[in-house]
Amino acid sequence: MLSKICDMLKAIVLIGGASVRMGTDKFLIEANGLPQYLHLHRMIEALGISTYISCSAAQTDQIDQNIPYLIDEFASIGPIGGLATAIKHDPTSDWLVVACDLINLQPETIKELVTIAPRKGVITFQREDIEFPETTITIYCQDVFTTVKQAIRQKKYSLQGVLKASDVQKITPANPAQLKNVNTRADL
């Protein structure tokens, strides 16, 4: 069943941020024995999901050239730019967006998202301890691509705004600790 679901889904690991608060590139942190982008890529690919790295042009020389990557065509607008680049690359697939700073993420949490059916709108996690739903461990289905494109045209670069304008299926995560972002060295 999972393989059939994953045939209709692609993933993008977002690494394009400046990592200013961290003081070093988050995608290169080796919290799991590999650079984080590579760890996440391998984990998602092992689930049968075709996975790309979303990066800036300047980052391409820092990533494994055997891994498919998409250069962010919408630079400096945040995660929505990586998603828009993925949509432009393949508008016929739903896209799982995963931030590179989710160092505790495990395959079972991704499976919680990808097994939701029917898949439509936005599928994401809503932690009980946080007011807003997640935006970067989230599936964006084809029926919200117009909303993403419209937000960019209007210079509204918040994925939370996309969620507010979309049909959102919220899931309470079985293990909320896996959704913790690392933004500073103290978070490691």
Instruction: Give Cα separations from 15 to 18, 38, 47, 48 (angstroms).
Output: 9, 11, 20, 21
Read off the pTM: 0.92
Quick one: pLDDT band at residue 22, thresholds 50, 70, 90? Answer: very low
pLDDT mean over 150-158: 96
Quick one: pLDDT band at residue 31, thresholds 50, 70, 90? Answer: confident
**pLDDT greater than 70 at residue 16:** no
Quick one: pLDDT band at residue 153, thresholds 50, 70, 90? Answer: very high
**pLDDT tens per residue across span 78-120:** 999 999 999 999 999 999 999 998 999 999 999 999 988 778 9
Domain membership flag for residue 156: yes
Q: What is the pLDDT of residue 1?
A: 46
**pLDDT tens per residue across span 112-146:** 999 887 789 999 999 999 999 999 999 999 999 99
Structural domains in the chain (count): 1
Kindly report the average pLDDT of the chain as a whole number: 89
Q: What is the pLDDT of residue 183?
A: 61
Q: How many CA atoms lie within 13 A of 167 on its CB side?
A: 9
The span from the CA of 40 to the CA of 132, in Å, is 24
Domain membership flag for residue 117: yes
Q: What is the pLDDT of residue 41?
A: 96
Domain membership flag for residue 54: yes
**pLDDT greater than 90 at residue 19:** no
Sheet of strand 50-55, all strands in order from the earlier edge strand to the far edge: 69-71, 50-55, 9-14, 94-99, 137-140, 122-125, 168-171
Please list, in sequence order, all residues whose beta carbon lies within 8 angstroms of the beta carbon of residue 18, skipping any fewer than 6 positions away. Answer: none
Of 98, 93, 106, 188, nearest in space to 134 by CA: 98
**CATH number of the domain within which 72 lies:** 3.90.550.10
pLDDT mean over 147-176: 96
Domain membership flag for residue 125: yes
User: What single-letter DSSP state applies at residue 102?
Assistant: -
Place of tokens 């049909």: 167
Q: What is the pLDDT of residue 181?
A: 77
Domain membership flag for residue 79: yes
User: Which domain covers residue 75, as residue numbers?
Assistant: 2-183
Domain membership flag for residue 24: yes
Kindly give the interhelix angle for 36-46 and 107-114, rounded to the nearest 10 degrees.
50
Q: What is the pLDDT of residue 17?
A: 58
Range scoring the smallest mean pLDDT among 50-54, 71-75, 78-82, 156-160: 71-75
Domain membership flag for residue 188: no
Domain membership flag for residue 141: yes
